[in-house]
Chains A and B, each alone.
Chain A
Amino acid sequence: MADARKRLDTAASRPIVGAPLAHDSAAKHVAGEAIYIDDIAEPAGLAHACLGLSTIAHGRLLALDLAAVAAAPGVLAVLTAADIPGVNDISSTHRHDEPVFATEAILHHRQPLFAVLAETREQARQAAALAKAEYEEAPPLVDIAAARAAGGEIVTDPLVLQRGDVEAALAASPRRLSGAMTIGGQEHFYLESQIALAVPGEDGDMLVHSSTQHPSEVQHMVAAVLGVGAHAVTVEVRRMGGGFGGKETQANLFACVAALGARRLGRPVKLRPDRDDDMAITGKRHDFVVDYEIGFDAEGRIHAVDAVYAARCGWNADLSGPVTDRALFHMDNCYFYPAVRGRSQPLRTHTVSNTAFRGFGGPQGMVGAERFIEEVAYATGLDPLEVRRRNLYGGAGRALTPYHQPVEDMIAGAVIDRLASRCDYAARQEAIRAFNRDSKVIRRGIALTPVKFGISFTATWYNQAGALVHVYTDGTVALNHGGTEMGQGLYQKVAQVVAQAFGIGLDRVRNTATTTGKVPNTSATAASSGSDLNGMAALDACETIKARLVAFAARHWQEEPEAIAFRNGHVQVGAREIGFAELVKAAYMARIPLSATGFYATPKIHWDRKAGRGHPFYYFAYGAAASEVAVDTLTGEYRVERVDILHDCGTSLNPAIDKGQIEGGFVQGMGWLTTEELVWDEKGRLRTHSPSTYKIPVASDRPRIFNVALLEDAPNREPTIHRSKAVGEPPLMLAISVLHALSDAVASVGDHRFCPRLDAPATPERVLAAVERVRVLAEGSA
């Protein structure tokens, strides 16, 4: 035993923070041994729930006959709104606009009307199909144009960001142009669909295993729906099979229905929707229409931008307020607008309620910004990259964002320059132009776009986190924090922080499942904040315990506290080297507490939404990508030939995990802007509700050449956890370079004289339409 411990301790001889370690569950993943909620050993008496869904998108529910459902084989009970002991509301922003079950108003196709509980999942699914509903159907407002035409009802208060007199600045600009851009939405397509398993306890207690990024919110929703205190509900999640924002609020419905069923039956209940139902019920990335007017000069300098960002929000507010806010927060990307006005228009439609998705509106804001740049480039005949450079933040009086926060850590220019030189951008651009001159059908394109992404929840109070660290008398450590693991490697990063704090090996630190029973009142694992917040909270807990151990050791061994240090696998106490376990055991015998909570609240940030002013972001994360594509101008088919990325992770906590976030985020963003197309029909039915019709990238879609590098020697200016930077969302927006490379290839058809105005997603069909548009313009001007 002693030998084994010694071996474990020597594993910590290298620094742990910053090491490119594998995901903590990697071996379990590949062996099929990682336990997801559907894999948990089923409790005795488990019943299964299935949701009954509306077959119209808009109208009134006149009658719901569930007799056949209740009489179906294996059925134990049916649940409707009338069976809810608490409130029939799971509105995450407390607007009371999101019932669990519809009662009268039907606001989107496949809206839940009831649930059926049965002995098996198969029986529940079969029974749910037997419902007879009568409706009074009304025409649905399916998209932004329809919502606007019907008067533009909004789901939440719009935001206005304003700096300077934009109208005067536009009027004074040497040149002006206006346009509009459509930006598509995106299905999360987490591989593990939504799922919840509720287990009833005594005194109205409910344990819910929920695949959620936000256990505390699920806890509060379940409590409200059951009509009990939050203290009666425990929500636990060890891991999700992907989240991407799709399990920030969207898990609430499934957890609440499972809990309602468990309460009703007094038996455990599991609810796992079929993939198609998951896609039809849950919200997605917001699609936008951006209407813009830009004032600029012949040197490609932007003088003023006035833009309206309209979003399809769906049938309720959900997170559409903060999502559309974040779109405006990123309408500048890396560019200084001397005068600017951005307005959001969060529109109500009769479609699923769009929600958080990696980037949270930021990507759409930034896609708009890059279109503005592109428009100016084509209007002035300048190279788009040159226009980007000329408009970067920096220089006297060029630091203020549209929300009046100065950009103090601007490094985008340096990142662009380093990347351009590493990937030989200029020479390749020239070679591509030469290739295009001789190529009739295939055209190539290249583009380099930067990213500046604001880090912090814009809901300032969310920027807090708690952790709970237990040190056991054998020197092993159990770690718990409010962050959830969805594949991003958060558990491993925080464990690295803890192992290094105690100077012990990672194998002595055990991640324990996130649960509201251990760390309360947590924020969603979202906004890229997971390791910033929870890493700091866990470190705080470690420091509390370490302070106690140091004080104890100083007394016990008669040394100055300054002479005590936690090193690789041992504790230095003066001249002595004491094993961590030995110290802990001695401290226990001396009745020193070995458990502590930790807490962190992000400093510096504040935001006044009404005024549109403040300092909503603690810092910015930067990056840049150069993409090269080949386009077939007969069919619109294309291929991403090469991508080079330079991304800023500050001082990375784990470069292997961060690289995975960059590569994965990029490909996910590329899917959003290329092949992933959501299609609703005129009746408001989602036609792309399965992987056979909704096409996320596959292996062969990844760039043929894919060079990803982390920016070196770039510690965060702010004292974040080990000077690292958040990495969950920013890399997704590097994929905007693919859209612009496609646009560049299309533009070659018109000798780069006309802005292709290629909208997203750039499916082969949209690319071909842009080719034909440019061809017509070129012929018209010839």
Chain B
Amino acid sequence: MRETVRFLLGDELVEIGACDPTRTLLDWLRIDRRRMGTKEGCAEGDCGACTVVVGRLDDGALRYEAINACIRFLPTLDGCQVLTVEHLRGPDGKLHPVQQAMVDCHGSQCGFCTPGFVMSLFALWLNERAPSLQRVEDALAGNLCRCTGYEPIIAAARLMDEADRGQDRFVAAMPAVAARLAALADLETVAFGDGTKRYYAPATLEALAGLTSAHPEATLVAGATDVGLWVTKAMRRLDPVIHLGRVAGLQAIADEGAQLRLGAMANHVAVRRALAALSPQLDELMRRFGGEQVRNAGTIGGNIANGSPIGDLPPALIALGARLVLAGAERGGPADGAPAATIARREIPLEAFFLDYRKQDRRPGEVVEAVLVPKPPADALFHVSKISKRFDEDISAVCGAFLLRIGPDGRVAEARLAYGGMAAIPKRAAAAEAALTGRAFDEEAVAAAAAALERDFTPLSDMRASAAYRLSVAGNLLRRFLIESRHGAAATRVAGPLAEEAHG
């Protein structure tokens, strides 16, 4: 048991013995440390003005990631290095090449979003050489600028790449930082709080299971990309909080031959990499998942266990026939929060996990441990479409994911059509599936399936879309699927790599 939180702020080792476990990194920086360079724009992880760069050890290697400080709870930075915009100027006062490129390209006007852009660009610069334009846009998808129209910022991203990384003090310091972070790492459970609210960050699955069975009411926090808003917007008091981010092994991704095993704490960047190998459509779906900061912080387990009716991943995973592994302490486990002796696991189809609006089949003390994703068979047709007002960093109005297996007779042998945004939970379209099954996959069958969607869904009208649009597009996505299965994505997509491939 360790009762302090330790991390690096730049070079400085910070050790905190007590603090509100849901204090955000942003408030800590601005209020406690008076580091005013990092800004609050929205306090919900959507504008990126608060972007900082966090270094963490990933399988022993130091990774730098841009994250939103406004919804990141301070103690979850245990074992990390935090870099803010103030760290970037050199000891001689010189601007960092990333900053200088922004000045040279006229990348700031009002300047309020600028520190966030600088930090997103800095993370990109540290990690990637000569990124493509697409990659630059993806890296900036979580940063809003209302003044410049982005053109000069994109130009800065191009210009900064010319700077010599060999001379950079952050690059030079990476081995030393990695060593310092390695020295901070341990397998103790962090137990922490401010005297009224408790926080636990176990490092093993057994310790986690022990804690969740002793505190079944606890709020489980992964990347906090949603739970953060419960605090900053709903002003909810969360006690206790159990952070899953330190649990060894939960981030692992394994290729098990016929299926992928995705650890619940794998972030969306890692999940994208794994899923991209299955289908370019999944790559494109995950490319558009949140903004870069959310993809860095958010996890697949959080996305599923959160139980959103939309959650971009579940429809695709349901179409693929994914299964969920839930784990908890055997027979309820010890009541005192001590590590569980034995872990009990159960495996359910993902679609069975979602019971009703924000209600899931997660028993007291259970956590989502992993997602098992079968690889689509070679003869399967697979498609995912996310429809939103804005392409990047938006929540789906409708998300459709389809998997078809065509039998030797040329007819649809199996249809799995899953939708998000159409019901209170991500859900399969049983009537539409029935309309397709046993028929040739052609215009007529698609028209029948599209018509059947009315029996599957009674979608809502809300600020994202009307019920009529949702229903109409849900059917048109089946048409898109058919066209793409014959002519490729180029014929139906206007944006993203799937479209570019075709045009270019």
Interchain nearest-CB distance for B25 vs A (Å): 15
Cβ contact within 8 Å between B118 and A699? no
Which residues of A have CB within 8 Å of B100?
30
Q: Complex: how many Å from CA A742 to CA B298?
A: 35
CB <8 Å contact, B466 and A189: no
Given A660-B148, A666-B149, A699-B154, 16 more pairs with CB closer than 8 A: A28-B111, A30-B85, A30-B99, A30-B107, A32-B115, A129-B235, A188-B146, A191-B49, A191-B110, A191-B144, A635-B480, A664-B147, A692-B395, A696-B144, A698-B140, A699-B136
Contact A693 B463 (CB under 8 A): yes
Q: Which residue of A lies closest to B121 (CB)?
A: A30
Question: Could you show 10 A-B contacts with beta carbons less than 8 Å apart?
Answer: A22-B103, A25-B111, A191-B145, A274-B43, A275-B41, A441-B483, A637-B391, A696-B144, A701-B150, A702-B151
CA distance A299 to B42 in the complex (A): 52
Nearest B-chain residue to A665, judged by Cβ: B149
- Asked if B411 is at the interface of the complex by the 8 Å CB criterion, the answer is no
Chain B, residue nearest A763 (CB)? B389
> What 4 pairs between A and B have smallest CB-CB spacing?
A32-B37, A487-B110, A241-B112, A29-B111
Q: Is the CB–CB distance between B391 and A701 below 8 Å?
A: yes
Q: Which chain A positions have C-beta within 8 A of B212?
A: none
CB distance from A671 to the nearest CB of B (A): 9
Is the pair B495, A27 in contact by a Cβ cutoff of 8 Å? no
Total interface residues in chain B, CB < 8 Å: 86
CB distance from B111 to the nearest CB of A (A): 3
A744 within 8 Å of B by Cβ? no
Q: How far is the CA of A39 from the CA of B99 in the complex (A)?
A: 20
Given the known inter-chain contacts A30-B102, A36-B112, A275-B44, please indicate yes or no for A663 contacting B148, CB distance below 8 A: yes
Across the interface, A697 reaches (CB within 8 A) one of B49, B233, B390, namely: B390
- Which of A34, A659, A772 is most buried by chain B, counting CB atoms within 10 A of its CB? A34
CB atoms of B141 and A700 under 8 A apart: yes
Q: Which residues of A contact B (CB under 8 A)?
A: 22-23, 25-36, 38-39, 41, 125-126, 129, 188-193, 239-244, 274-276, 439-442, 486-489, 630-632, 634-639, 656-657, 659-660, 663-668, 675, 677, 679, 687-688, 690-693, 695-702, 706, 708, 763-765, 768-769, 772
**Complex-state Cα separation, A127 to B12, whole angstroms:** 36
Closest beta carbon of chain B to A431's beta carbon, Å: 14
Interface of B is mostly: loop
**Known contacts A488-B109, A697-B390; is-contact A638 B149 (Cβ 8 Å):** no
Q: Which of B118, B151, B476 contacts A634 (CB 8 A)?
A: B476
Q: Is the CB of B43 within 8 A of A192?
A: no
Q: Which of B46, B390, B394, B473 gathers the greatest number of chain A CB atoms within 10 Å?
A: B390
Contact between A679 and B152, CB atoms less than 8 A apart: no
Secondary structure call for the A interface: loop
Across the interface, name the chain B residue whose C-beta is closest to A189.
Answer: B146
B390 and A675 form a contact (CB under 8 A): yes
Are A30 and B108 within 8 A (Cβ)? yes
Alpha-carbon separation in the docked complex, A360 to B118 (Å): 32
CB distance from B165 to the nearest CB of A (A): 19
B96, chain A: closest CB distance, angstroms: 8
Cross-chain contact A639 with B106 (CB below 8 angstroms): no
B interface with A by C-beta (< 8 Å)? 30, 34, 36-44, 46-47, 49, 84-86, 88-89, 95, 99-100, 102-104, 106-115, 118, 136-138, 140-141, 143-154, 232-233, 235, 385, 387-395, 397, 462-466, 469, 472-473, 476-477, 479-480, 483, 491-495, 499
- CB of A692 within 8 A of CB of B149, answer no
Residue of B nearest to A630 (CB): B494
Cβ–Cβ contact A634 & B463, under 8 A: no
- The answer to whether B495 touches A35, judged by C-beta atoms less than 8 angstroms apart, is no
Known contacts A274-B43, A700-B137: does B473 contact A635 (CB below 8 Å)?
yes
A632 to B385, CA, bound (A): 13
User: How far, in angstroms, from A429 to B116 measured CA to CA in the complex?
Assistant: 40
Other-chain residue from B30, B39, B235 in contact with A241 (beta carbon distance below 8 A): B39
Q: Which residues of A contact B39 (CB under 8 A)?
A: 36, 38, 191-192, 241
Asked if A706 meets B41 with Cβ closer than 8 Å, knowing A488-B109, A695-B390, the reply is no
CA distance A650 to B269 in the complex (A): 48
Q: Find out whether the CB atom of A242 lies under 8 angstroms from the CB atom of B110.
A: yes
Distance between Cα atoms of A189 and B36 in the complex (Å): 21
Is A667 touching B389 in the complex (CB atoms < 8 A)?
no
Decide: A191 near B387, CB < 8 A? Known: A487-B110, A630-B494: no
Shortest CB–CB separation between residue A697 and chain B, in angstroms? 7
Please give me the residue from chain B that is nearest to A487 by CB atom.
Answer: B110
Would you call B147 and A239 a contact (CB within 8 A)?
no
Q: Is the CB of A687 within 8 A of B463?
A: yes
CA distance A181 to B2 in the complex (A): 65
CB B163 to nearest CB in A, in angstroms, measures 14
* B-side contacts of A242, CB under 8 Å: 110, 112, 146-147
Shortest Cβ distance from residue A254 to the other chain B in the assembled complex, whole angstroms: 16
Assembled-state Cα–Cα distance A764/B480 (Å): 16
Q: Within the assembled complex, what's the spacing in Å between the Cα atoms of A483 and B7? A: 45
A140 → B minimal CB distance (Å): 17
CB of B103 within 8 A of CB of A27, answer: yes
Identity of the chain B residue whose Cβ is nearest the Cβ of A439 in the assembled complex = B491
Q: A635-B476, A699-B141 are in contact. Are A23 and B108 (CB under 8 A)?
A: yes
Contact A702 B150 (CB under 8 A): yes
Docked pose: A34 CA to B137 CA in angstroms: 26
| Residue ID in chain B nearest A485 by CB atoms | B110
Most buried by A among B115, B150, B469, B494: B494
